[in-house]
Structure 1
Amino acid sequence: MDGSRLLDNEIRRLFRVRKTLHEMLVDRGYIVVSDDLRMTLEEFSQRFHDAGFARESLTLLKQKRDDPADQIYVFFSQGTEGPKVSVKSLKDTIARMERDGVHRAIMIMSEGLTPSAADAISKLDRYRIEPFLENELLVNITRHVLVPKHEILSKAEKKALLKRYKLKESQLPRVQQRDPVSRYYGLSPGDVVRITRPSETAGRYVTYRLVV
């Protein structure tokens, strides 16, 4: 396969990843302008070309609709010392977050993390970095017909739910934080998610899950 064909395939791949990513940000409550959501492959290709085909040009900084101070970075990362993102690259990312006062980020990678970088991310305290492989975002799994609607409860909604049914948090059914849908929504341990499924008898069936 020649170089131009390889580049064309990479552009198409990144376009699909970027589309899913913007949908993810909207579903998490972040502000995404309509032009980004409607961008065509041709428009993306031209923008990527103008930026010299650098993944770094795809970096995003978004803020929550209901809280502008709540911001998230999105980094399209490549290893600088090998095919995987290393601890050194991770430290550079954290330094940028610290400089800009942003405590949460999504890291999109083509090859993943080195074992030491993965361990470092799991031990972060002040910062949260969510790693995703590009392969995981080629398709938006939440748009699949078999995936029911998920909604994160606010702290007040969670408190009201437990009070209404006279439950302790530990009595709720559970869902793992590493579950693909949990990762898509950026759920944290202690979050409660409302899951709405269609029902032939009741019209819809609502359940709640505690993220662990």
Structure 2
Amino acid sequence: MSEDQFPYKLYQINRTILQMLRDRKYIVSKEQLEMKFPEFREQNNDLSRTSLELLATKIDDPSIQILVFFPEDEKVSVEMIRSYVEKMKGESVARAILILQRSLSHYSKKFITKLAPEIIIETFFEFELLVNITEHQLVPKHEVLSEEESKVLLKRYRVKPTQLPRIKVTDPVARYLGLRRGQIVKITRPSETAGRYVCYRFVV
């Protein structure tokens, strides 16, 4: 990859991450979201992935934060993940996103799994973040219901959560939104007859 392609790729990935955090209801500034490539390149002229590391805070709960790590090395070792965990603990952060250039080893995956539920580390490959999948015209709008909204919905339709259609946590949009098992998501699709069609799915 040429020097010109490299920073533009990082620009695309960084933009998608910022949009993802915004859609998960974390604080992201308008300036960050609207930053153009020339400004991004000027701010990151060392072409470093690690310089893109960021910490974001939930809009409605300042005690909830998330860290985003951009490892410089293609191979992310267990030792490297341990260092990220130590940083998370130092910042009192329980959730992080790890942007990977290549697949994790079996031992690294196992280590991340063992950290849950106290420490949650989500992983995304760089190529998955070159575009924002939720902006695709074929992807309907997904909205996570709050606990109160979920209770009202279930009471209105007199159903149990498990009686709703399901969506897996491994679904691409579910991963983008950071959905957890047990949540309910509202999906709004365009309809030629009704204008829009709304359905609800239970996260499994």
With structure 2 as the length reference, what TM-score do the two structures score? 0.96
Matched, 1:94 2:88: no
Identity, % of aligned pairs? 49
CA distance in 1, matches of 2:166, 2:66: 26
Give unmatched runs, 5+ long, in structure 2.
none
CA distance in 2, matches of 1:191, 1:143: 22
Cα offset for 1:31? 0.7
Residues matched between the structures, number: 203
Partner residue, 1:12: 8
SS in 2 for 1:6: coil
SS in 2 for 1:77: coil
Partner residue, 1:70: 64
CA distance in 2, matches of 1:7, 1:188: 38
Q: Note if contact 1:78-1:109 (Cα within 8 Å) is conserved in structure 2.
A: no
Partner residue, 2:164: 172
Matched, 1:28 2:24: yes
Cα offset for 1:149? 0.4
With structure 1 as the length reference, what TM-score do the two structures score? 0.93
108, 111, 136: which one aligns with 1:120: 111
Structure 1 residue identity aligned to 2:69: F
Partner residue, 1:60: 54
CA distance in 1, matches of 2:36, 2:105: 34
Deviations 1:84-139 (A, max 9, x none): 21111111100100111000111111113111111221222211111001100001
Partner residue, 2:173: 181
CA distance in 2, matches of 1:142, 1:25: 13
Structure 2 residue identity aligned to 1:73: L
Partner residue, 2:34: 38
RMSD: 1.1
142, 145, 148: which one aligns with 1:156: 148
Give unmatched runs, 5+ long, in structure 1.
none
